[in-house]
Amino acid sequence: MGLRSGNSLLENLNRNDRLWHLGRSSLFSELDPVELEVVVRQARDRIYEQGKTIFAAGAPARELFVLNRGTVRLFLCSPDQREKTLEILRGGDSFGLETVREAGSYQVSAAAHEDCWVSVLERDELFALSRRCPALAANLTGILLDRLATAYDQIGGLTFLEAEQRLARTLRHLAERHGQCANGQADQIRLKVRLTHDILARLTGANRPYLSNILSQFRKAGWIRYQGESLVVDVGMMAALEGRSRTGSARVDPGKRVQD
């Protein structure tokens, strides 16, 4: 995404930059201009370079983060250091929501998937703002409920879907969150987020060799393709593949086109 070095970016940020980015976030979008000014004055800006850990699961949850630019990966680690990527966040998303619990700890780890700029609020600051701005408390509740729904959806996918359908769901979700139309075609979505087979395997809950084989089959069938370094996804086909599993159909043969 081409962020400048941390110090250089922070030095060049002005009040309008902060107002615009925080105002478009899901957490602060309903605040009036006066309330948003208070947030801008209290929030601190940080830059994390790609791969840098922002916080680790189990650490005391003392800060809430709003992602302004870049992408952040949320993930879990097993005792033997295997990883399950839960989500790749985009600009406008909030994370570190465990901060709302007194003496709580982070339940997942967060790392910069790409260079990113975040705004940070400590727990006491967040609570003070919530008392002053009722819309903030409502937005925070909505975000927490959305995350809970996403967690239930992931549990259902891991329980009931084959790997091919889980990959189709993952690609469709990425297209909704990180995509734009490719060549003006509404069903052809170019993913703007950096992806590797390893990341996709961790998002999907499949081992990497098997995931790579499925991707190869999807590509041969014309359901995905590369445009430069970006992956282009046929979202209609992904929805059809995912929906097929819900009807109890047999595993999809990527050599055949799915019928609606």
CA distances from 36 to 141, 148, 181 (A): 18, 27, 32
Question: With bands split at pLDDT 50, 70 and 90, how would you rate the model's confidence at 127?
Answer: very high
Spatial distance between the Cα atoms of 121 and 41, rounded to a whole number of angstroms: 11
What are the start-end ranges of the E strands in 146-255?
Answer: 179-182, 185-191, 224-227, 230-234
128-165 confidence digits (pLDDT tens): 999 989 999 999 999 999 999 999 998 999 899 999 99
pLDDT value of residue 7: 56
The verdict on pTM exceeding 0.85 is no
Question: With bands split at pLDDT 50, 70 and 90, how would you rate the model's confidence at 10?
Answer: low
- Complete domains list, the chain, with CATH: 6-158 (2.60.120.10), 162-246 (1.10.10.10)
pLDDT value of residue 80: 87
pLDDT value of residue 186: 86
Pick the more confident residue, 167 or 186.
167
